[in-house]
Structure 1
């Protein structure tokens, strides 16, 4: 499963932060919750799945799946005459045991509509298998299900626009199995500790394409306008990794070595298939060589579907992606690593960590998701350079550190309220950083050798953190119990304070280290780099106590003492360096985080010359991400900063080779509100980049709003991403009745992230628009937004907005709209006065 990107609190607009934080606090499990006291053991194995054969067809009108299943099992160890299968919300018409080609009906009990208890025809032993036949109907839309932060729905099978009534939306069917939702479309033992081979026969309208796990063995055209596709998976995998997808897709055929690598896209995105997914074979090759285990399956396919309930899902041999990974050529120009590409490599790494070796229970989800999260950094630094990898690593660390209750959760978690709760920043972002630290500690050779041992030892089976530890110990010869006890079976992180003292008389550099967190003391190995006399000397040290003092003899006063020289620690650090030391660090230390920390320090007080020197130099940093950081940090109210920055910004706005940095420079120049830049901004409107166009339009709006409105009209039919946002914000703040249709359609049809980003501007225009019928449209749409995203606190936020809208509509003598706004505010619990 992808790394919590679709709608995380970090991605939502700042306007919603307070509401979301409050909502999150209300939803977080309480320490006295009885569910938190239940030990979540690995499910007992009474019967083992061996093979699952399915024959399915779809009723688009009813949103049903009609299925026939032949599932082969055997007792795990002890003899048994019973079988329990997970089967959620189904009509079970016939359950029989297959004997000599005949179906012999069995007695079964299906009271809770969640699992079925079957009385077998005899006692079976673990040296004999048996096959059960089931005739059933799955009704996913009638199933009451609960999702999570990573997977916002859990009904297993999804019919998208099945009646063809939604304009510009294709008709599709697709599945989502994780965590235990495959049993909403076929009866099974829906646990990650089970593994089974698979056959699926799908009968679909002949105009559609199908995709499933494994190999497409055959296709048969039927007389009734349908086609039957037969897919076969010869290698065992867990039921939650089963998948089907049906719809109008174009297939782009690629390959890795002698294996198929295919990309399934809607026809309008098919021309961009190579741009979107074309680096996949290169990633497969890199991961295969790095892990010492070649890609283990017969093919790899990726498909993009509509209305997906998560970011992406690593179904074995057939990853399913949400829409945000795709784009046209112009959109992809502005795509940065986090925007889609990191998801593509994340899901691919799961084919080893998650599919080839699967977590034996959700408590050990770390051996799936922490690895996939780590792989994003691994590929970034390999393909795009260490700065990109380090930026990705740091962004993930911040995501973890900023999450309120993350510090109280163990990585391996045997106590939780619901299995869905384990899909969080601890399992993903923290877990990925723990692996990256371990890689640094062991060294690449030992670390990746250990991963290879883990994969080969547990191939097509299940794994847990202890097996990972044993494999890494075998590879390295080191005891790692201390590391796993601290990071895998404990919670929290060090809050580290670092201070320094130089004694010129004794030529002694002293470093004071203090861990200020409550609870355990963390044992921390790391490097200290001392820069003195034009040289750098590295010292490898350990911090073993809450307070440690380290001393080093140095010939001359160091220019810089760089604690955690590899910038690898999973910690919240306060590093008490002078701005002169940070300046030396920026210009001499090699890493992204060295420069990042210096820019952070300099941004805090830009009145000082030393600070200004760092900020201005960073405008020309070799990495575009830090150029953007410096641009956004500029204090343009400071005259010295304005004077020094303006010519650099003008140059970047015209010549930077990265469109996002160019756009950031244009945005900053726009704040000067200098009419002399109008020509530059108008030229930027001709850019192929939506980001550059959007920044230029915004900058023109700062100088000449009527001209910006005029220019925006020309882009109404072709805008995406940042340009759409700029037009939306311009119209919402400067536009009127003529611009409302664009505003309304853009908000109504926008994706979740765009709605969160634009909700305040949309509400502001709803409050001031002249036509009452337009105000009513806006109020209705805001209400729908509040209901749809209630789990993120959107209802509370919309309730507050409605109070302002009520006041605005009252001032415009629009009583009906004022009343409508008041009613929504009350419905959402706002205190209406």
Structure 2
């Protein structure tokens, strides 16, 4: 997702997310079918969820996440739970629906849950900038439980059907393919979308609004659609059409697109963009945004990383956000050239360094237990992207892309920890990457390098001293340029000495001229 929300909204949202999933799961959801009824008369949602579950342990009861009505009257109240038409006892607390049913290990059961209420969050019911009523799912990180009974964490992925009944003037967009659209009495319409790929709840959505729809083209066999508010039709169709040109880059370099269509949707998401699988939601003013290509490249990259290949838990969210950040840079490098990549990596580096001054934490941040909005930071995005950039330079392009393709192939439809990525990249590059991942991903900080140099005219050499000023030592390779010549220095100790021949005294010595190292530098010429 792309971050574009205020600190005030950030504070409001962090109090609405559910508690973390900490215990080992006792079940694996196989399929959801959500039948949702919406009306223009009020904000009450009427829902019926059919949840098919495979149990991983013997249980006498189990829990799904679902927010009960709060003191403002917003939340979901369950009226019945059944299995094969048989009533099943249940209880609700603030965040959990406990279903008191026995099940054996490896058994499959389907439960039907009838509920209704006004969503406190997750399904945003509001008006757009033109004053028209809209309904948009906005589930990241674990806000789906505010309107859907579910296993609301990324480690449980399932197929999903959304069957939406709403006033017939609305269009409906969702994950997967539309398999039914039926006009009903009383000016209602039923729309059924079916997704057969495995999704985490964070990217299961519906969008219900008055839409203008365009089909700017296909990316191979994947149809690409545009859904915008009718008042933005002319500009929206034009600006969103770039999506069909972005998709082929990822298909070629990463692997097949996991879904059967891609819809790009103008919406009311609280984020700049939200990577819902096969139905990306963009912020309301995105149709006229000068940064729409970059935004779309980021969200489309998420279709591979975050949606299809998902992090196992939010502590490893950089496998989603860091990947989308760097894949965007690679797409733009491919289109506009290496100088574009250098500028973007330099800007990303500054964001990482600025963030470290406020909060020093590793990329894999296990200290965050439930307030996952904290993870939308420069560590997860820009530093995660920088890790991939340095990994690419360490392994070389061929091995790097081989590793990326193998990672996607292995975890498409599943979930990964960072250790899974490390193992695959080690296999692709034929290198031990334990030290690399330890210093860049699991620990904090960056190298702070003090570089002093002097020219020895008698010997025609540069004598260089590189001192690591930070507390914890890194092992790295530093490139320095003297004019058009590039020199590589191994920096492993507190103080590192290097000498290299030069034709004449250079005007300056420039560290990291190709922007390949996440570090800070001070350079001085000695006597």
TM-score, structure 1 normalization:
0.59
- Deviation, structure 1 residue 545: 1.5
**Change over 3 Å in CA distance of 1:223–1:61 after alignment to 2:** closer
Deviations 1:496-553 (A, max 9, x none): 2222110112222012212222x3111112333333xxxx443333211222121112
Counterpart in the other structure of 2:447? 494
Note if 1:441 corresponds to 2:394: yes
Counterpart in the other structure of 1:820? none
Q: 2: distance between equivalents of 1:92 and 1:466?
A: 40
Note if 1:97 corresponds to 2:58: no
Residue 208 of structure 1 is aligned with which of 170, 175, 180?
Answer: 170
3-state SS in 2 of match to 1:408: coil
Q: 2: distance between equivalents of 1:107 and 1:576?
A: 74
* Contact 1:379–1:389 (CA under 8 A) maintained in structure 2: no
Counterpart in the other structure of 1:279? 242
Note if 1:552 corresponds to 2:500: yes
3-state SS in 1 of match to 2:103: strand
Q: 1: distance between equivalents of 2:67 and 2:366?
A: 25
3-state SS in 2 of match to 1:569: coil
3-state SS in 1 of match to 2:373: helix
Deviations 1:460-485 (A, max 9, x none): 01011110001101111001000100
Q: 1: distance between equivalents of 2:129 and 2:386?
A: 43
Counterpart in the other structure of 1:303? 265
- Deviation, structure 1 residue 7: 4.3
* Contact 1:407–1:493 (CA under 8 A) maintained in structure 2: no
Residue 563 of structure 1 is aligned with which of 511, 514, 524?
Answer: 511
Note if 1:399 corresponds to 2:351: yes
Counterpart in the other structure of 1:117? 98
3-state SS in 2 of match to 1:80: coil
- Deviation, structure 1 residue 575: 3.0
Q: Which runs of 5+ in 1 are unaligned?
A: 9-19, 28-39, 144-154, 579-833
Counterpart in the other structure of 1:157? 123
**Change over 3 Å in CA distance of 1:133–1:405 after alignment to 2:** farther
Q: 1: distance between equivalents of 2:525 and 2:212?
A: 57
* Contact 1:42–1:361 (CA under 8 A) maintained in structure 2: no
Residue 38 of structure 2 is aligned with which of 47, 52, 58?
Answer: 58
Q: 1: distance between equivalents of 2:520 and 2:477?
A: 16
Residue 428 of structure 1 is aligned with which of 370, 373, 381?
Answer: 381
| Aligned alpha-carbon RMSD (Å) | 2.3
Q: 2: distance between equivalents of 1:272 and 1:575?
A: 49
Q: 2: distance between equivalents of 1:95 and 1:449?
A: 48
Q: 1: distance between equivalents of 2:186 and 2:408?
A: 47
Q: 1: distance between equivalents of 2:478 and 2:461?
A: 20
* Contact 2:32–2:50 (CA under 8 A) maintained in structure 1: yes
* Contact 2:448–2:519 (CA under 8 A) maintained in structure 1: yes
- Deviation, structure 1 residue 574: 2.1
- Deviation, structure 1 residue 202: 0.4
Counterpart in the other structure of 1:705? none
Q: 2: distance between equivalents of 1:229 and 1:324?
A: 27
Q: 1: distance between equivalents of 2:131 and 2:493?
A: 59
3-state SS in 2 of match to 1:344: helix
Q: 2: distance between equivalents of 1:61 and 1:223?
A: 16
Residue 315 of structure 1 is aligned with which of 276, 287, 292?
Answer: 276
**Change over 3 Å in CA distance of 1:369–1:167 after alignment to 2:** closer
Counterpart in the other structure of 1:48? 28
- Deviation, structure 1 residue 42: 5.5
**Aligned residues, how many?**
511
Deviations 1:140-197 (A, max 9, x none): 2xx3xxxxxxxxxxx1011113xxxx88322111011111111111101111000110
Q: 2: distance between equivalents of 1:458 and 1:321?
A: 26
Counterpart in the other structure of 2:420? 467
Whose helix proportion is higher, 1 or 2?
A: 1
How do 1:66-145 residues align onto structure 2 when only pairs under 5 Å count?
66-76=46-56, 78-89=57-68, 90-98=76-84, 103-111=85-93, 113-120=94-101, 122-126=102-106, 128-140=107-119, 143=120
Q: Which runs of 5+ in 2 are unaligned?
A: 13-19, 69-75
Q: 2: distance between equivalents of 1:257 and 1:5?
A: 32
Deviations 1:562-584 (A, max 9, x none): 33232211112223379xxxxxx
Counterpart in the other structure of 1:386? 338
* Contact 1:410–1:491 (CA under 8 A) maintained in structure 2: yes
Q: 2: distance between equivalents of 1:547 and 1:555?
A: 26
Q: 2: distance between equivalents of 1:299 and 1:577?
A: 58
Q: 2: distance between equivalents of 1:52 and 1:439?
A: 39
Q: 1: distance between equivalents of 2:444 and 2:358?
A: 8
- Deviation, structure 1 residue 342: 1.5
3-state SS in 2 of match to 1:545: coil
**Change over 3 Å in CA distance of 1:238–1:568 after alignment to 2:** same
Q: 1: distance between equivalents of 2:451 and 2:343?
A: 22
3-state SS in 1 of match to 2:442: coil
Counterpart in the other structure of 1:361? 313
- Deviation, structure 1 residue 41: 7.7
3-state SS in 2 of match to 1:421: helix
- Deviation, structure 1 residue 352: 0.5
**Change over 3 Å in CA distance of 1:545–1:41 after alignment to 2:** farther
Counterpart in the other structure of 1:341? 293
Residue 263 of structure 1 is aligned with which of 199, 213, 226?
Answer: 226
3-state SS in 2 of match to 1:84: strand
- Deviation, structure 1 residue 59: 3.5
Counterpart in the other structure of 2:193? 231
Deviations 1:337-356 (A, max 9, x none): xx232111111001110111
3-state SS in 2 of match to 1:356: coil
TM-score, structure 2 normalization:
0.92
Q: 1: distance between equivalents of 2:266 and 2:204?
A: 16
**Greater RCO structure (CA 8 Å; 6+ sep):** 2
3-state SS in 1 of match to 2:412: coil
How do 1:501-650 residues align onto structure 2 when only pairs under 5 Å count?
501-517=454-470, 519-531=471-483, 536-576=484-524
Greater gyration radius? 1
Q: 2: distance between equivalents of 1:130 and 1:553?
A: 73
How do 1:753-768 residues align onto structure 2 when only pairs under 5 Å count?
none
* Contact 1:42–1:360 (CA under 8 A) maintained in structure 2: no
**Change over 3 Å in CA distance of 1:73–1:41 after alignment to 2:** closer
* Contact 1:377–1:390 (CA under 8 A) maintained in structure 2: no
* Contact 2:342–2:514 (CA under 8 A) maintained in structure 1: no
Q: 2: distance between equivalents of 1:123 and 1:287?
A: 42
Deviations 1:107-133 (A, max 9, x none): 11213x21011111x33221x200000
